[in-house]
Amino acid sequence: MEPVLRVENVSVRFDDQEVLRNVSFDVQKGEVLAIVGPNGAGKSVLFRAILGLIPHGGTVTWQPGLRISYAPQKLFIDRDLPLSVGEFLHFKNPNKIAVVEALKSVGLNDEHHIEEHLLTQRLGWLSGGQLQRVLVAWSLLDNPHVLMFDEPTAGIDVGGEETIYNLLKRLQDKLHLTIILISHDLNIVYKYANNVMCLNQDMICHGVPSEVLDPKSLAKLYGGEANFYKHEHLQH
Protein backbone atom coordinates (compact mmCIF):
# COMPACT_ATOMS: atom_id res chain seq x y z
CA MET A 1 0.00 0.00 0.00
CA GLU A 2 1.25 3.47 -0.86
CA PRO A 3 2.02 5.49 2.28
CA VAL A 4 0.02 8.65 2.97
CA LEU A 5 3.36 10.39 3.64
CA ARG A 6 6.87 9.62 2.42
CA VAL A 7 9.80 11.65 3.78
CA GLU A 8 13.17 11.13 2.09
CA ASN A 9 16.47 12.60 3.31
CA VAL A 10 14.90 15.74 4.73
CA SER A 11 17.46 18.19 6.14
CA VAL A 12 16.95 21.68 7.57
CA ARG A 13 19.58 24.32 8.23
CA PHE A 14 19.16 27.72 9.84
CA ASP A 15 22.14 29.90 8.88
CA ASP A 16 25.16 27.80 9.93
CA GLN A 17 23.22 25.46 12.23
CA GLU A 18 22.04 22.10 10.92
CA VAL A 19 18.80 21.23 12.73
CA LEU A 20 17.81 18.06 10.86
CA ARG A 21 20.02 15.62 8.94
CA ASN A 22 18.78 13.19 6.29
CA VAL A 23 15.55 12.11 8.00
CA SER A 24 13.57 9.44 6.10
CA PHE A 25 10.37 7.58 7.05
CA ASP A 26 6.94 6.57 5.76
CA VAL A 27 3.52 6.92 7.39
CA GLN A 28 0.73 4.49 6.48
CA LYS A 29 -2.99 5.21 6.41
CA GLY A 30 -4.57 4.82 9.86
CA GLU A 31 -1.22 4.84 11.64
CA VAL A 32 -0.49 6.69 14.87
CA LEU A 33 3.14 7.84 14.68
CA ALA A 34 4.71 9.43 17.75
CA ILE A 35 7.87 11.50 17.43
CA VAL A 36 10.02 11.70 20.56
CA GLY A 37 13.28 13.38 21.46
CA PRO A 38 14.88 15.95 23.77
CA ASN A 39 14.28 19.70 23.60
CA GLY A 40 15.96 21.18 20.55
CA ALA A 41 15.99 17.84 18.70
CA GLY A 42 14.17 19.31 15.68
CA LYS A 43 10.74 17.73 16.24
CA SER A 44 8.68 20.87 15.61
CA VAL A 45 11.03 21.84 12.76
CA LEU A 46 10.33 18.47 11.14
CA PHE A 47 6.59 19.15 11.38
CA ARG A 48 6.98 22.52 9.69
CA ALA A 49 9.22 21.03 7.01
CA ILE A 50 6.82 18.25 6.03
CA LEU A 51 3.99 20.79 5.93
CA GLY A 52 6.03 22.93 3.53
CA LEU A 53 6.20 25.88 5.95
CA ILE A 54 10.00 26.19 5.90
CA PRO A 55 12.71 25.51 3.27
CA HIS A 56 14.31 22.07 3.46
CA GLY A 57 16.46 19.64 1.58
CA GLY A 58 15.22 16.21 0.50
CA THR A 59 11.69 15.36 -0.60
CA VAL A 60 8.30 15.21 1.11
CA THR A 61 5.52 13.39 -0.74
CA TRP A 62 1.93 13.43 0.49
CA GLN A 63 -0.68 11.19 -1.07
CA PRO A 64 -2.71 13.38 -3.51
CA GLY A 65 -5.97 14.84 -2.26
CA LEU A 66 -5.30 14.57 1.46
CA ARG A 67 -6.78 17.05 3.90
CA ILE A 68 -4.33 17.75 6.73
CA SER A 69 -5.01 19.57 10.01
CA TYR A 70 -2.16 20.83 12.17
CA ALA A 71 -2.32 22.07 15.77
CA PRO A 72 0.90 23.82 16.89
CA GLN A 73 2.56 23.54 20.29
CA LYS A 74 1.49 25.59 23.30
CA LEU A 75 -1.13 27.98 22.02
CA PHE A 76 -1.13 30.72 24.66
CA ILE A 77 -4.22 32.91 24.60
CA ASP A 78 -4.56 36.07 26.66
CA ARG A 79 -7.56 36.06 28.99
CA ASP A 80 -8.56 39.48 27.69
CA LEU A 81 -8.52 38.48 24.00
CA PRO A 82 -12.03 39.38 22.77
CA LEU A 83 -12.50 36.15 20.81
CA SER A 84 -15.11 33.55 21.71
CA VAL A 85 -14.99 29.82 21.07
CA GLY A 86 -17.74 30.18 18.49
CA GLU A 87 -15.94 32.99 16.64
CA PHE A 88 -12.68 31.03 16.64
CA LEU A 89 -14.30 27.93 15.15
CA HIS A 90 -16.33 30.03 12.70
CA PHE A 91 -13.07 31.00 10.99
CA LYS A 92 -12.60 27.33 10.05
CA ASN A 93 -16.23 26.50 9.27
CA PRO A 94 -19.13 28.98 9.36
CA ASN A 95 -21.70 26.16 9.64
CA LYS A 96 -22.96 26.29 13.24
CA ILE A 97 -24.36 22.75 13.09
CA ALA A 98 -20.95 21.42 12.03
CA VAL A 99 -19.28 23.40 14.84
CA VAL A 100 -21.65 22.01 17.47
CA GLU A 101 -21.17 18.45 16.17
CA ALA A 102 -17.39 18.83 16.29
CA LEU A 103 -17.55 20.06 19.91
CA LYS A 104 -19.88 17.21 20.85
CA SER A 105 -17.50 14.71 19.23
CA VAL A 106 -14.69 15.80 21.57
CA GLY A 107 -16.86 15.40 24.66
CA LEU A 108 -17.70 19.03 25.44
CA ASN A 109 -21.11 18.37 26.99
CA ASP A 110 -24.53 18.37 25.42
CA GLU A 111 -25.78 20.49 22.54
CA HIS A 112 -27.81 22.90 24.71
CA HIS A 113 -24.79 23.63 26.94
CA ILE A 114 -22.59 24.16 23.88
CA GLU A 115 -24.94 26.63 22.23
CA GLU A 116 -25.92 28.53 25.37
CA HIS A 117 -22.55 28.71 27.09
CA LEU A 118 -19.46 27.30 25.40
CA LEU A 119 -19.77 29.07 22.04
CA THR A 120 -19.95 32.45 23.79
CA GLN A 121 -17.10 31.69 26.21
CA ARG A 122 -13.85 33.55 25.62
CA LEU A 123 -11.01 31.30 24.48
CA GLY A 124 -8.73 32.76 27.15
CA TRP A 125 -11.13 31.68 29.90
CA LEU A 126 -10.99 27.97 29.06
CA SER A 127 -9.03 25.48 31.15
CA GLY A 128 -6.05 23.76 29.53
CA GLY A 129 -8.07 20.60 28.91
CA GLN A 130 -11.04 22.50 27.47
CA LEU A 131 -8.78 24.49 25.14
CA GLN A 132 -7.11 21.32 23.84
CA ARG A 133 -10.52 19.79 23.15
CA VAL A 134 -11.56 22.93 21.28
CA LEU A 135 -8.34 22.68 19.23
CA VAL A 136 -9.13 19.06 18.40
CA ALA A 137 -12.63 20.12 17.38
CA TRP A 138 -11.12 22.88 15.22
CA SER A 139 -8.88 20.28 13.59
CA LEU A 140 -11.88 18.10 12.72
CA LEU A 141 -14.01 20.80 11.10
CA ASP A 142 -12.73 20.25 7.55
CA ASN A 143 -13.02 16.44 7.83
CA PRO A 144 -9.27 15.81 7.62
CA HIS A 145 -7.56 12.58 6.67
CA VAL A 146 -4.45 13.41 8.74
CA LEU A 147 -4.16 15.10 12.15
CA MET A 148 -0.82 16.53 13.25
CA PHE A 149 -0.37 17.57 16.87
CA ASP A 150 2.72 19.15 18.39
CA GLU A 151 2.63 18.23 22.11
CA PRO A 152 -1.19 18.03 22.31
CA THR A 153 -1.14 17.88 26.13
CA ALA A 154 1.40 20.62 26.90
CA GLY A 155 0.38 22.40 30.10
CA ILE A 156 -2.25 19.79 31.04
CA ASP A 157 -2.11 17.66 34.18
CA VAL A 158 -1.53 13.91 33.96
CA GLY A 159 -5.22 13.03 34.24
CA GLY A 160 -6.03 15.48 31.47
CA GLU A 161 -3.27 14.02 29.30
CA GLU A 162 -4.85 10.57 29.44
CA THR A 163 -8.24 12.05 28.54
CA ILE A 164 -6.91 13.89 25.48
CA TYR A 165 -5.06 10.82 24.18
CA ASN A 166 -8.10 8.60 24.81
CA LEU A 167 -10.10 11.11 22.78
CA LEU A 168 -7.61 11.07 19.90
CA LYS A 169 -7.55 7.25 19.91
CA ARG A 170 -11.34 7.10 19.89
CA LEU A 171 -11.57 9.57 17.01
CA GLN A 172 -8.90 7.68 15.09
CA ASP A 173 -10.80 4.41 15.45
CA LYS A 174 -14.13 6.00 14.48
CA LEU A 175 -12.95 8.16 11.57
CA HIS A 176 -9.97 6.05 10.38
CA LEU A 177 -7.65 9.02 10.78
CA THR A 178 -3.89 9.04 10.43
CA ILE A 179 -2.31 10.82 13.41
CA ILE A 180 1.24 12.16 13.70
CA LEU A 181 2.08 13.63 17.07
CA ILE A 182 5.01 14.89 19.07
CA SER A 183 5.08 13.62 22.65
CA HIS A 184 7.46 13.81 25.60
CA ASP A 185 5.88 10.91 27.49
CA LEU A 186 7.13 7.41 26.62
CA ASN A 187 4.27 5.81 28.57
CA ILE A 188 1.82 7.59 26.26
CA VAL A 189 3.83 6.45 23.24
CA TYR A 190 3.67 2.81 24.33
CA LYS A 191 -0.06 3.00 24.98
CA TYR A 192 -1.32 4.86 21.92
CA ALA A 193 1.24 4.80 19.08
CA ASN A 194 1.62 2.07 16.46
CA ASN A 195 5.08 3.37 15.60
CA VAL A 196 7.58 5.74 17.15
CA MET A 197 10.39 7.79 15.66
CA CYS A 198 13.30 8.84 17.88
CA LEU A 199 14.76 12.14 16.69
CA ASN A 200 17.77 14.14 17.77
CA GLN A 201 18.75 15.97 14.58
CA ASP A 202 19.32 12.50 13.07
CA MET A 203 16.72 9.75 13.17
CA ILE A 204 17.94 7.37 15.89
CA CYS A 205 15.17 4.77 15.75
CA HIS A 206 11.91 4.09 13.95
CA GLY A 207 9.47 1.23 14.47
CA VAL A 208 7.13 -0.44 16.93
CA PRO A 209 7.72 1.10 20.40
CA SER A 210 8.18 -2.24 22.18
CA GLU A 211 10.85 -3.22 19.65
CA VAL A 212 12.89 -0.04 19.15
CA LEU A 213 12.69 1.82 22.47
CA ASP A 214 15.50 -0.12 24.12
CA PRO A 215 18.06 1.19 26.65
CA LYS A 216 20.71 1.70 23.96
CA SER A 217 18.45 3.82 21.75
CA LEU A 218 17.15 5.86 24.69
CA ALA A 219 20.67 6.52 25.96
CA LYS A 220 21.69 7.67 22.48
CA LEU A 221 18.54 9.79 22.19
CA TYR A 222 18.66 11.54 25.56
CA GLY A 223 22.35 11.15 26.45
CA GLY A 224 23.94 9.33 29.37
CA GLU A 225 22.04 6.72 31.29
CA ALA A 226 18.34 6.48 30.50
CA ASN A 227 15.83 4.80 32.78
CA PHE A 228 13.95 2.16 30.85
CA TYR A 229 10.68 0.47 31.73
CA LYS A 230 9.23 -1.92 29.18
CA HIS A 231 5.47 -1.79 28.56
CA GLU A 232 3.15 -3.81 26.42
CA HIS A 233 1.41 -1.88 23.64
CA LEU A 234 -2.35 -2.08 24.18
CA GLN A 235 -4.48 -3.29 21.31
CA HIS A 236 -8.10 -2.14 21.26
CA distance 163 to 129: 9
User: Per CATH, is 1-66+145-236 categorized as 3.30.1370.60?
Assistant: no
198-222 pLDDT, tens digit per residue, is: 999 999 999 999 999 988 888 888 8
**First vs last Cα of the chain: how many Å apart?**
23
Q: Where are the alpha helices (DSSP H) in 142-198?
A: 158-175, 186-192
Find the Cα–Cα–Cα–Cα dihedral 139, 144, 145, 146, rounded to 10°: -30
In the chain, domain spans: 1-66+145-236, 75-143
Q: Please compute the mean of the pLDDT values over residues 1-16 and round it to a whole number.
A: 93
pLDDT tens-digit profile of 151-200? Answer: 876 666 666 666 778 888 888 888 889 999 998 888 889 988 999 999 99
